[in-house]
Amino acid sequence: MNRISKTLASLVLGFAALGLVAAVPASSQAAPLELKLGHIQTEQDFWHLGSLKFKEELEKRSNGEITLKIYPNSTLGGDRDLVEGMQMGTVDFGLVAGVLGNFEKSIGLLELPYLFDSQEEFNKVIHGPIGEEIAGRLVKKSGIRILNWWDRGPRQTTSNKPINKLEDLKGLKIRLPEIPAMVNSWRAMGANPTPMAWSEVYTGLQQNVIEAQENPIPFIYGGRINEVQKYIAITDHKYEYVTIAMSEMRWKKLNDKQRQIIVEAANAATAYENQLVLDKTNELLAAMQAKGLQVTHPDKKELAAAARSVHEDFAKTVDLDLYKRILQTLGR
């Protein structure tokens, strides 16, 4: 900038300060706020479809002032990476579930296989005072804010041998997420739990590093697990969720209007994703059966009795009072 330009700029600023001329805006329109969401699933999974709905609602409700970029397929890392990214503020949103128990222990209680007998029981707890209490503990302790809980349907078990009874689980090398409540319960059922990242499961099954895995049907379908497993046992051992979670660091930087838009968009995406799970899960199972996946129906009461034998001991390491309040809510 030459001397004349500098002088003119100084005069304009001086006159603006005296109220003699209007200040000149830096730009005619502020750039949109671009936020990032990561998850570990494929673009075909309901998680991703729900994420797209969240993006649509965010951008529509904010008139384009908020935009969302979605990173599927563990692009931003696994579950733990996403949580740590939200803690550091490098990730704004994450679709994460049981890994949160490593950051707030009380969430681990929700991960106990056969704690709930139905989706209705699970919803009664998670959408009530106990769910609110757990979410409050999480944001206070870890800086992760749960915006809502998405349904995923019950978890089922795939393997290369039929599972019809508890004895069939003996020594079974089954992949599990890195969640102590699940590891303890599956061990009590006689299996040989092997924690492994979801991104490694397909190859692990293909190469016989593991013999089985367990997940909700949409997850199994999206991960093409039926290509490397022959059987699916309807175990219904865990009524599953994933949270649409947000970095508290980012939340605190937003104004009230932006926060309201995000909450409303998350609620709309939740209703959309939950309905997808309800409408499509049986269709996905039928599609895998048509390709050769065989279904078995083991005695769930037998499995549940074994899994529940370690529940109270696990609860003592987390929060026994909260565990008892969950049972009380369920009328047990």
Nearest to 70 by CA among 88, 90, 54: 54
Cα Rg, the chain, nearest whole Å: 24
Strands 93-96 and 239-247, sheet pairing:
antiparallel
| 252 located within any domain | yes
pLDDT given for residue 17 in this prediction: 45
Q: How many CB atoms lie within 10 A of CB 122?
A: 22
- Provide the residue-wise pLDDT of the chain in tens; the chain has 332 residues: 444 444 434 433 443 444 444 444 444 467 999 999 999 988 988 999 999 999 999 999 999 999 999 999 999 998 999 999 999 999 999 999 888 988 999 999 999 999 999 999 999 999 999 999 999 999 999 999 999 999 989 999 999 999 999 999 999 999 998 888 999 999 999 999 998 988 899 999 999 999 999 999 988 998 899 999 999 999 999 998 999 999 999 999 999 999 999 999 999 999 999 999 999 999 999 999 999 999 999 999 999 999 999 999 999 999 999 999 999 999 98
Q: What is the CATH number of the domain that holds 213?
A: 3.40.190.170
Q: How far is CA 101 from CA 35, 45, 280, in A?
A: 25, 24, 29
Give the end-to-end CA distance of the chain in Å, rounded to a whole number. 78
Collapsing DSSP states into helix, strand and coil, what is residue 158? Answer: strand
Q: How many CA atoms lie within 13 A of 170 on its CB side?
A: 4
Distance CA 108, CA 114 (A): 13
Tokens of 228: 């490397």
SS3 310: coil
Is residue 23 in a domain?
no
Q: Residue 116 region, left (φ>0) first, then alpha (ψ -120 to 50), else beta?
A: beta
With 0-12 / 13-18 / 19 or more C-beta atoms within 10 angstroms meaning exposed / middle / buried, residue 296 is: middle
Amino acid at 131: G
Between CA 280 and CA 272 the distance in angstroms is: 12
Give the domain range for residue 311. Answer: 31-329
Look at residue 14 and tell me if it is in a domain.
no
Q: For the whole model, what pTM was predicted?
A: 0.80
For residue 22, is it within any domain? Answer: no
Look at residue 113 and tell me if it is in a domain: yes
Distances (CA, A) of 329 to 98, 124, 247, 278: 21, 8, 30, 24
Burial of 320 (0-12, 13-18, 19+ CB in 10 A): middle
For residue 323, being part of any structural domain is answered with yes
* Domains: count for the chain: 1
Q: Please report whether residue 207 resides in a domain.
A: yes
Tell me if 17 is assigned to some domain.
Answer: no
